[in-house]
Chains A and B, each alone.
Chain A
Amino acid sequence: MKTFTKLMATAALGVATAAHAGELEVTHWWTSGGEAAAVAEFAKAFDATGNKWVDGAIAGSGGTARPIIISRILGGDPMGATQLNHGRQAEELIEAGLMTDLTDLAEEQGWKEIVNPPSLLDACTFEGRIYCVPVNIHSWQWIWLSHDAFAKIDTAVPSNWNEFAAAAPKLEEAGIVPLAMGQQGWQQNGAFGVMTIAIAGLDAWRKVVVDKDADTARGPEYAAVFEAAVDARNFAADSNVQDWNLATNMVITGNAGGQIMGDWAQGEFQVAGQVAGEDYTCLPGLGVNEILDTGGDAFYFPVIDDEETKAAQMALASTLISPEVQVAFNLKKGSLPVRGDIDLSAANDCMQKGLDILKAGGVMPSGDMNLSADTQTQIEDLMAEFWTSDMSAGDAQERYADIIASAD
């Protein structure tokens, strides 16, 4: 019901604004402080091209916004452009011919040469045609460690997961929660994904997630992951918070030893005035396997039968990927740029670590690009149950393998 009224309200807005030429309504779900500042950079740059950015921010996370966006496109009231995570979310919309083909523009501007890593553009490509503009890279594979917490137990800040696991009992004795973990499926699922890469390694992960090989999911590499996940569950037993930023706050205040969370967490450390390397440490790939996934956000352009709107869409597409806009946007957002050819010397310690890994080619495609939303939801449900119950590693592994076996 709520969604419906929102829908009606946005639909009414859309009708009212569609009349002017060169105006584009852009929907997205970037509404927190840092995110809104980053979007403003897009709007400023787009307005400078003589067009007008009509902001259609949808409050709530992607889970709330995506259904609204998709229903609007399906319902025949498309917006000018919209944020989506690239990957398989828009696959069927593209198949149904509802998304604008950007291939000509991409060839003209040579996106193939400038977008790094190339997998980002691959995720926008469907049957050889390009349908979206990647704008940033977010990676999950980070653990954030509190220097305060480890100072309290007179232990050096760990440099990898094994050292962290060894120090965990001491942290517990000192009344510190070893691992902060928000009690929400996507966070638990994300943390599990990070541990998979760190412990099972990239090859096993690729076999399971890309090739959907259930036998590997039943195998010894994944058994080790589930054992480690049981450890992590015990470390996080006293972490009673829900939202990820509250969990990050436990690390900031030294009430928790560490948190496995994506690079968006560093925005929280920045807001709290903490300095990377002095107050907190970030370890990409849990310090074991320095590989980052390359999920992130992209913009799609629904098909609108109006020449001026089309021209504005193309103008926006080339604005989003231009070097100046990429720098301005990503510095505010805390994410990595999609172009390898720009200067980001203003970035902090953790972002530099990420950039170095990107340059060295330590990248992998994100889960979004390989698993359908359906399969991901099933895995999230399993993880939510696993992290809050005393399910054994073996049971969890068996059920995980079953989901992989039936994945499409």
Chain B
Amino acid sequence: MSSSKARKPSGLFRNLSAKIASVPMVLTALVVFVGGTAWTVVYSFTSSKLLPKLNFVGLDQYERLWSTRRWLISIENLAIYGFFSMIFTLLIGFTLAALLDRKIRGENVFRTIFLYPFALSFVVTGLAWQWILNPDLGVQNVVRSMGWESFAFNPLNDPDIVIYGILIAGLWQGTGLIMVIMLAGLRGIDEDIWKAARVDGIGTIKTYVRVIIPMMRPVFVTALVLIASGIIKIYDLVVAQTNGGPGIASEVPAKYVINYMFRAQNLAQGFAASTMMLVSVIIILIPWAYLEFGGKKRG
């Protein structure tokens, strides 16, 4: 850092060809991502309907958004789905990875089985779980036909718990990938650490919790980012599995955005909703980035 100050005049021209080569990508990023985002935010303050028009109405769209029952339900669903999805994906993913890492027989077979759901799209996952959770075809029917007549398990038709039905499908699809990432992380841990822990007489579980997990911090960060982006953009799973039903009980924010932009032909309302999604991402991202990058400088 200190030496760069002296070389500052020539800094701009260092690696010139590489910099020229990256200009198109920088422009794309600026125009498409930053520009598109700014455009969306600006138009969310207008009264645009089917076509974007610049007649500003202040915060009207946001006021309407936050007094719309469907949006509030969407946010609540996203919070529930996000909270449980984050915890269970990490927990199950890590547990499976740790079990596979114990040098068991047939590791390849299990790894393939656990990862396989990830190869399916959310639409296929949603449809498959719609059938599995259907009371007349799926789990409930199977258990009842085995003799437990009063067994009831019908999450997709109950507005109070439908989001958990979607959560199950989401976990089934997503944990495999996290398991593989965790497994790669575990394989990156030096054998000598384990030997040292054994010499010191530390138990296996305690070694995992106290030594291995702190060492896997970068892996956890990767997994966290992957899971979080999956949560925010959840859309196709819901469309395929319940289409927001019963009623509007399993609506999610992304679906609200699409619906209001295209079906309701109210661009500004959709833009306002997508801006709120962006804001929530930023609210989560900034403290994290501050801790992650700001912390390092101090350390």
Contact = CB atoms under 8 A, between A and B. Distances in A.
Given A70-B50, A74-B51, A377 B247 contact: no
Given A378-B68, A385-B247, 15 more contacts: A67-B263, A74-B51, A96-B51, A184-B245, A372-B265, A373-B264, A373-B265, A373-B266, A374-B266, A374-B269, A376-B264, A381-B248, A384-B245, A384-B248, A385-B248
Interface of B: 49-51, 64, 68-70, 135, 157, 159, 243-249, 259-260, 262-266, 269
A70 B264 CA distance: 13
Interface in A252-302: none
Contacts of B249: 385, 388
Contacts of B269: 374
Contacts of B248: 185, 381, 384-385, 388
A48 interface: no
Nearest to A95: B51
Contact of A374 (B243, B244, B246, B265): B265
B264 A377 contact: yes
Contacts of A67: 262-263
A249 interface: no
B46 to A, nearest CB: 14
Contacts of A240: 135, 157
A126 B265 CA distance: 18
A356 to B, nearest CB: 35
A203 interface: no
Nearest to B162: A388
B241 to A, nearest CB: 12
Given A240-B157, A388-B159, A66 B263 contact: yes
B136 to A, nearest CB: 8
Contacts of B69: 381-382, 385, 399
Nearest to B263: A63
Contacts, number: 73
- Could you say which interface size class chain A belongs to? 20 to 34
A387 B263 contact: no
Contact of A387 (B49, B247, B266): B247
Interface string A386-398: 1111000000000
Given A372-B265, A374-B266, A388 B51 contact: no
Contacts of B51: 74, 92, 96
Given A384-B245, A389-B159, A92 B260 contact: no
B162 to A, nearest CB: 10
A377 B49 contact: no
A93 interface: yes
Contacts of B159: 388-389
Contacts of A399: 69
A385 B49 CA distance: 25
Contacts of B263: 63, 66-67, 373, 377
Query: A74, A377, A406 — which one has the most chain B CB atoms within 10 A of its CB?
Result: A377
A136 B219 CA distance: 61
A53 to B, nearest CB: 27
Interface in A54-111: 63, 66-67, 70, 74, 89, 91-93, 96
Given A373-B265, A374-B265, A388 B260 contact: no
A92 B245 contact: no
16 contacts: A70-B262, A89-B265, A92-B50, A183-B245, A183-B246, A184-B245, A242-B243, A373-B265, A374-B49, A374-B260, A374-B264, A377-B259, A377-B263, A384-B245, A385-B69, A388-B245
Contact of B262 (A66, A184, A376): A66
Nearest to B261: A67
A388 B243 CA distance: 14
A67 B264 CA distance: 10
B260 A377 contact: yes
Contact of B246 (A96, A373, A388): A388
Contacts of B243: 184, 242
A74 B266 CA distance: 15
Nearest to B71: A381
B138 to A, nearest CB: 13
Nearest to B53: A92
A62 to B, nearest CB: 9
A369 to B, nearest CB: 15
A399 B69 CA distance: 10
A408 to B, nearest CB: 8
Nearest to A382: B69
Contacts of B135: 240
Contacts of B245: 183-184, 242, 384, 388
A255 to B, nearest CB: 13
